[in-house]
Amino acid sequence: MNNLNDFSRTALLRLDDRELNELASRMRQFLVDSVAATGGHLGAALGTVELTIALHRVFDSPRDVMVFDTGHQCYAHKILTDRAAGFSTLRQSGGLSGYPSRAESVHDWVENSHASVSLAWADGIAKAIARDSSSGRRVVAVIGDGALTGGVAWEGLNNLATAGHPVIVVINDNSRSYDPTVGGLSVHLDRLRRGDTTAGNLFESLGFAYLGPVDGHDIGAISAVLREATATGRAVVVHCVTAKGHGYPPAESDEDDRMHACGVIDPATGFPSRPNKRMWTDVFGAELDAVARTRPDVVALTAAMRLPTGLGALSQARPDAVIDSGIAEQHVLASAAGLATGGAHPVVALYSTFLHRAFDQLLLDVALHRLPVTVVLDRAGITGPDGPSHHGMWDLALLAAVPGMRIACPRDPQRLRELLREALDVKGPTALRYPKAVVGEDMTALAQMSGLDVLYRSRNLPLNVLLVSIGALAPECLLAAESLTGEGIGVTVVDPRWIWPINPALVAMAARHQFIVTVEDGIAEGGVGTRMAQAITTTRTHVLGLPTDFLAHAGREELLSQTGLTGAAIAETCRRLVAEQTTPAGTALSGSLR
């Protein structure tokens, strides 16, 4: 067999141990070369090559159900299910998803890439299969030890242990999520890895059969244990010990876990093949570190994302000021409420997409108690190649629904620094959000009016359009303004800085213009622009934002263009509004007037 597409499950069953190891080596090199060219989740994919081969030798996918938790460990699974050719388009528009995708293959059952839900899915699927007692189908959930720190994973374990269904839970134990796994579970798994059962076995105590630990890079050993697990006819935990990045030296020696998710790299060295540019995350991390040096009350919290959310510098300078609670966003927000009650000012650093999981705690633990907790949302708006489960599109609509919440959207590095410091002085809940993008240059305001920054004003032209720029879309609004001014359409561009609650000065400014156009990289329906339209009754308002839909994976700039959030598209909208100024008033949602 000369190419990866030749390897079907039937072929795997015919290979001897030497041939299987050769296959694993070839797959690993294929993954390194492919991900180096496109970017992607490399460390987790490399660590599960042998495990995935064993799964496909023992189980008959898709008749037997394989659920991969989080999903970035599924690259070898994609190769073995006839998708190797698609890796040249990995995470590109119209190309292969970086996560399981039901649209791609019948072998993919779950495409949500948020961690810890696989056990609940497996529980539900097993219950559905059990309705046909003659089917003989099997259900396997592959979950990392990092994902097991999530609360919903414990809910899954609790239900699976006594449900009476023969679900096989494969723990891919590599001692990491991004950072090393934390908490009592990590300690317990370490004891089990060392064969120390003097304190008992958690999984057996819950009601599971337990098999392992087994070397996750020994295909024969894993296959044997999986067959033994199947023969038990009951819920069983298979404890599989792997090494993240196994077989690729740059990933194996990567203490900062750069290879968990990487951009385009040199496959020989593992280092970026293009110069690193300063990101919004870098600016936040440096400023928080600077602030915390003079503010002992500042404590940063993260849900297994210390380095990706920019907390590396602070964790080195003040290790006591950074708390990693594992993949447990609900716990993080509730714990932050406790810290704030005790006199600290917690800064909770999350990816925007993961805020959804802790909305209840934000609403009823933080906001209900009017506590000074600052939530910093990285990867807000369009994130790009990670696709629909990772776009930070929903945060503005959610945050604006929280009583007492103040929301800031910085347009440039200096505003991020200023707004972070301002947030830390607020005696109540605050949120800052910024995109996954290279940060631009500072944009100095022409004037400041009661907390508003005026970024642009057409000279000697009527006040046709007030462009309300939300955060990092300011450059696009300025491009639109310059184009419109050249056509004789008067434009004012204003950055509210604190976008919620609405600044009364913005209402007064709107009254002097024919139209307001709000521009945000969150969903338009229920977003900040729509709320502005409801509050500003003196002027027709048009809301530009993202559709309430699941946007596919593609480059950030490409998706902004597709959704009408570029300078040219914003200018065209304003141009149309001015031309249609006699249109009767309607309701202001994306694409319509009020």
182 vs 455: which has the higher pLDDT? 455
Of 408, 433, 458, the position where a domain reaches its end is 433
- Give domain status of residue 438, yes or no: no
- Give domain status of residue 410, yes or no: yes
Of 433, 457, 476, the position where a domain reaches its end is 433
Predicted local distance difference test score (pLDDT) of residue 136: 86
Task: State whether 209 and 154 are in the same domain.
Answer: yes
> Phi, psi (5° rounding) for residue 312?
-65, -45
Pairing status of strand 345-351 against strand 374-378: parallel
Annotated binding site for thiamine diphosphate: 72, 113-115, 146-147, 174, 248, 329
Task: State whether 429 and 462 are in the same domain.
Answer: no
Q: List, in order, residues 6 or more apart from 246 with CB less than 8 Å away.
A: 28, 46, 47, 49, 217, 252
- Give domain status of residue 121, yes or no: yes
Predicted local distance difference test score (pLDDT) of residue 6: 58
- Catalytic-residue membership of 155: no
pLDDT-wise least confident of 251-255, 396-400, 453-457, 540-544: 251-255
> What's the structural domain count of the chain?
3
Residue 189 has pLDDT above 80, yes or no: yes
Annotated binding site for Mg(2+): 145, 174
- Give domain status of residue 268, yes or no: no
Contact predicate 514/487, CB 8 Å: no
Tokens found for residue 533: 């339209």
Map 300-368 to HEC letters: EEECCCCCCCCCHHHHHHCHHHEEECCCCHHHHHHHHHHHHHCCCEEEEEEEHHHHHHHHHHHHHHHHC
The 10s digit of each residue's pLDDT in 404-419 is 999 999 999 999 999 9
Task: Look up the CATH number of the domain holding residue 561.
Answer: 3.40.50.920
Predicted local distance difference test score (pLDDT) of residue 179: 74
- Give domain status of residue 313, yes or no: yes
CA distance to 135, 267, 306, 310, 434, per residue, from 39 (Å): 40, 11, 21, 20, 22
Task: State whether 459 and 419 are in the same domain.
Answer: no
Task: State whether 217 and 179 are in the same domain.
Answer: yes
Mean pLDDT of 181-197: 91
Task: State whether 414 and 547 are in the same domain.
Answer: no
- Global pTM? 0.93
Mean pLDDT of 189-217: 95
Task: State whether 226 and 301 are in the same domain.
Answer: no
Contact predicate 496/508, CB 8 Å: no
Annotated binding site: 72, 113-115, 145-147, 174, 248, 329
- Catalytic-residue membership of 329: yes
The 10s digit of each residue's pLDDT in 124-143 is 999 999 988 777 899 999 99
- 83, 244, 379, 406: the catalytic one is 244
Domain of 295 in residue numbering reads as 280-433
- End-to-end CA distance of the chain: give it in Å, rounded: 65
From the list 115, 119, 140, the residue with the least C-alpha distance to 206 is 119
Band the pLDDT of 589: cuts 50, 70, 90. Answer: very low
Cα 544 to Cα 401: distance, rounded to the nearest angstrom: 19
The 10s digit of each residue's pLDDT in 63-111 is 999 999 988 889 999 999 999 999 999 999 999 999 999 999 999 999 8
Task: State whether 154 and 302 are in the same domain.
Answer: no
Pairing status of strand 498-500 against strand 406-408: antiparallel
Of 252, 269, 301, the position where a domain reaches its end is 252
Q: What is the CA radius of gyration of the chain?
A: 26
- Catalytic-residue membership of 357: yes
Task: State whether 43 and 104 are in the same domain.
Answer: yes
- 357, 406, 433, 531: the catalytic one is 357
Residue 457 has pLDDT above 90, yes or no: yes
- Give domain status of residue 418, yes or no: yes
Mean pLDDT of 21-47: 93
- Give domain status of residue 587, yes or no: no
Task: State whether 369 and 511 are in the same domain.
Answer: no
Tokens found for residue 38: 């496109």
What one-letter code names the amino acid at 345?
H
Band the pLDDT of 3: cuts 50, 70, 90. Answer: low
Task: State whether 163 and 121 are in the same domain.
Answer: yes
Task: Look up the CATH number of the domain holding residue 154.
Answer: 3.40.50.970
Q: List, in order, residues 6 or more apart from 436 with CB less than 8 Å away.
A: 279, 280, 281, 378, 379, 383, 384, 556
Predicted local distance difference test score (pLDDT) of residue 592: 34
Mean pLDDT of 34-45: 91
Task: State whether 427 and 485 are in the same domain.
Answer: no
Percent of the chain with pLDDT over 70: 96
Task: State whether 169 and 284 are in the same domain.
Answer: no
Mean pLDDT of 31-60: 94
- Give domain status of residue 261, yes or no: no
Look over the chain and give the mean of its residue pLDDT values, rounded to a whole number.
92
Residue 583 has pLDDT above 80, yes or no: no
Cis preceding linkage at 496, omega within 30: no
The 10s digit of each residue's pLDDT in 338-366 is 999 999 999 999 999 999 999 999 999 99
Band the pLDDT of 7: cuts 50, 70, 90. Answer: low
- 50, 329, 476, 520: the catalytic one is 329
What one-letter code names the amino acid at 572?
E
Predicted local distance difference test score (pLDDT) of residue 584: 46
Pairing status of strand 430-433 against strand 515-523: unpaired
Mean pLDDT of 375-393: 94
Cα 139 to Cα 153: distance, rounded to the nearest angstrom: 16
